[in-house]
A and B are shown apart, each in its own frame.
Chain A
């Protein structure tokens, strides 16, 4: 396989962004799976690749790239295949705006909820001393704080309430934007959609009272359109966890207020 290696976890959130971008472009890559729940990303082998210990990272030849959204722009520019950024500069601005909004405002709120109900409980059963040592190995102080909160269930009530508020606001913004055009930030499928799908693919399951075919028909149309793409199907088929397999909800033709999976 070529000279591209992607170090990633599941097709979900930041890891899934360059995975899906590469697959949309038809770029063959070596997949190096890191088990986030086993703290593979903080072990010496990976820290030699990315000293910050964040996932994902991509090697292209001798070049090591980090920051998932910036990696996606690189993938789009460096390889042939369908363009994932339009030619129009104003469209490109809008795509970057939405990606930042999702990366830095909406995404962390989704993550806080996800970490509290999935990541934390998944690792909490490990040996307490092992967990303590794993936290100490995390290079970035802010990530150390985040992991500590997730592992020990330290998210405060106010924090969770604020995250839920933001998720509701964000869903409203997505629905409104998608009522104006077929894709999130421009008239063509773009990196904003790749980014957004990674954030929202399980929305009708994770936020059933906020997103379904009756409340957010445009979001549901958008999610199904993305999941219908061969690259998305192939990408999510690589998922190993139940979390990622929730994408199957999008195969249901209609998801009402009282949907069943």
Chain B
């Protein structure tokens, strides 16, 4: 089985996929693409439905046997299943449920907020020819909205609240433990992936959160995470953003 991982800078969903790959001691052809320029839509697998319509937005693509696999939490679950390293999900059903439920709340609430705030601070830019290739109309619209440079105040305020809420949740969860689920899991990777770049953008959310600060430091100290971060081609990968999941259409 050969695997190719098309990834962006090690931030957001690309971070999760890369770190999971290294945590599991797996080999893959690593191909860096500029997600912030829409390069994913130029891949040969771009029009496969699971790539074109990925809810995650501009995330990495793991190609296995010709099939493009997207959505970083599920890519990480796949790598957890096929790799040799320590489990990235607890071994008991209860722990696995908690990990998946945690990730669901993270990708549904914190991730869209982080992507919006990240794209405002560090705008991605795709040219018209790349935008035309995007298979998902609503993802293309997110690109176009970001391109205007105009961000609604209520969405920005709500996004800051969602980041603060996620950090509160993390701080509470880390009471008496080193990792969110007790043992190191995909929940740590995915939570770090979306929130590491928020430390500078929403500093008030992290003020006084000593357990969260120590947890961020612990994650950065992991060997596999170091390997993922070493792939950065910029000084600060947490300043690299592309359109992410959409903000809940219901409000």
Residues in chain A within 8 A of chain B (CB atoms): 63, 65-67, 69-71, 73-74, 77-78, 89-90, 92-94, 96-97, 100-101, 104-105, 108-109, 111-112, 141-142, 144-146, 149, 159, 162-163, 165-166, 169, 173, 176-177
Q: Which of A74, A100, A145 interacts with B94 by CB under 8 Å? A: A74
Q: How many whole Å from B191's CB to the nearest CB in chain A?
A: 16
Q: Which of B74, B138, B248 interacts with A100 by CB under 8 Å? A: B74
5 more A-B contacts (CB under 8 A) besides A92-B81, A105-B53, A162-B138?
A78-B94, A93-B78, A97-B69, A100-B74, A145-B250
Contacting residues, chain A, for B104 (C-beta < 8 A): 67, 69-70
A93 touching B69, Cβ below 8 Å? yes
Total contacts A-B at CB 8 Å: 94
A63 touching B69, Cβ below 8 Å? no
Q: What mask results when residues 53 to 75 of chain B are scored 1 for a CB within 8 Å of chain A, else 0?
A: 11100000000110101110111
B78 touching A89, Cβ below 8 Å? yes
Q: When chains A and B are docked, how far (Å) is the Cα of A238 from the Cα of B55?
A: 33
For chain B residues 61-101, which have a beta carbon within 8 Å of chain A? 64-65, 67, 69-71, 73-75, 77-78, 81-82, 93-94, 96-97, 100-101
A92 touching B77, Cβ below 8 Å? yes
Q: When chains A and B are docked, how far (Å) is the Cα of A200 from the Cα of B41?
A: 30
Q: What mask results when residues 198 to 231 of chain B are scored 1 for a CB within 8 Å of chain A, else 0?
A: 0000000000000000000000000000000000
11 CB-based A-B contacts, threshold 8 Å: A71-B97, A74-B96, A77-B96, A89-B77, A89-B81, A90-B69, A97-B70, A104-B108, A104-B245, A111-B250, A112-B250
Q: When chains A and B are docked, how far (Å) is the Cα of A96 from the Cα of B93?
A: 16
Chain A residue nearest in CB terms to B251: A145
Contacting residues, chain A, for B64 (C-beta < 8 A): 90
Q: Which of B70, B138, B250 interacts with A142 by CB under 8 Å? A: B250
B101 touching A66, Cβ below 8 Å? yes
Q: When chains A and B are docked, how far (Å) is the Cα of A112 from the Cα of B250?
A: 8
Q: How many whole Å from B137's CB to the nearest CB in chain A?
A: 7
Q: When chains A and B are docked, how far (Å) is the Cα of A89 from the Cα of B88?
A: 14
A108 touching B249, Cβ below 8 Å? yes
Residue B42 CB within 8 A of the other chain: no
Chain A residue nearest in CB terms to B245: A104
Q: How many whole Å from B154's CB to the nearest CB in chain A?
A: 11
Chain B residue nearest in CB terms to A89: B81
B77 touching A93, Cβ below 8 Å? yes
Residue B147 CB within 8 A of the other chain: no
Q: When chains A and B are docked, how far (Å) is the Cα of A197 from the Cα of B154?
A: 36
Residue B182 CB within 8 A of the other chain: no
Contacting residues, chain A, for B78 (C-beta < 8 A): 89-90, 92-93
Contacting residues, chain B, for A65 (C-beta < 8 A): 97, 101
Question: A65, A69, A104: which has the most chain B beta carbons within 10 Å?
Answer: A104
Q: When chains A and B are docked, how far (Å) is the Cα of A112 from the Cα of B49?
A: 23
B50 touching A97, Cβ below 8 Å? yes
Contacting residues, chain B, for A96 (C-beta < 8 A): 71, 73-74, 77
Q: When chains A and B are docked, how far (Å) is the Cα of A93 from the Cα of B70?
A: 9
Q: How many whole Å from A83's CB to the nearest CB in chain B?
A: 13
Q: How many whole Å from A221's CB to the nearest CB in chain B?
A: 19
A104 touching B55, Cβ below 8 Å? yes
A78 touching B93, Cβ below 8 Å? yes
